[in-house]
């Protein structure tokens, strides 16, 4: 029997902390967690130590799988998340993963004026002095 999906932070006995969409399944004498697109979250800080954002990375970096089974015996603790901001960031990250690598256009002259630093500096100084 599989329970409804929910978002959760899972702390494994190995010390790893992951965030994922989770469904619990009761099988015979054990509980299995089915985790979808698990990620690790780390804080990005400035030199002064202030938090400026978060960095999301896949939990397992050498696989293309997006669903994993975790035995509840390997879980230290789990906390269901109702933090809308975290859930939205997670969903945005997953959506970007599914789109694949971004395909930015190369710059060309039809997109606007292209200049070198020296010429741009001279032009800006000239405009500033006027």
**Tens digit of each residue's pLDDT (9 = 90 or more) over 72-108:** 999 999 999 999 999 999 999 888 877 766 666 666 6
* DSSP conformational letter for 26: E
Residues with Cβ within 8 Å of 39's Cβ and at least 6 positions away in sequence, in order, are 18, 19, 20, 56, 57, 58, 59, 90, 93
Q: How far is CA 17 from the centre of its chain?
A: 13
* Token pair 């978002």 in the structure block, residue: 7
Q: What is the pTM of this model?
A: 0.69
Q: What does the angle CA 59 – CA 26 – CA 29 come to, to the nearest 5 degrees?
A: 110
CATH architecture of 6-100: Roll (2.30)
d(CA 65, CA 14): 21
Domain ranges of the chain: 6-100
């Amino acid at each position: 029997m599989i329970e409804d999906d929910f978002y959760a932070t899972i702390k494994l006995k190995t010390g790893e902390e992951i965030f994922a969409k989770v469904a619990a399944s009761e099988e015979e004498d054990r509980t299995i967690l089915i985790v979808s697109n698990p990620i690790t979250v780390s804080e990005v800080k400035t030199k002064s130590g202030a938090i400026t954002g978060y960095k999301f990375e896949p939990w397992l970096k050498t696989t293309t799988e997006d669903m994993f089974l975790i035995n509840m015996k390997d879980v230290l603790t789990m906390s269901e998340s109702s933090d809308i901001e975290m859930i939205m960031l997670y969903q945005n990250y997953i959506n970007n993963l599914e789109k694949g690598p971004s395909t930015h256009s190369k710059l060309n002259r039809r997109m606007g004026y292209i200049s070198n630093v020296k010429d741009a500096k001279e032009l800006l100084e000239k405009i500033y002095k006027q």
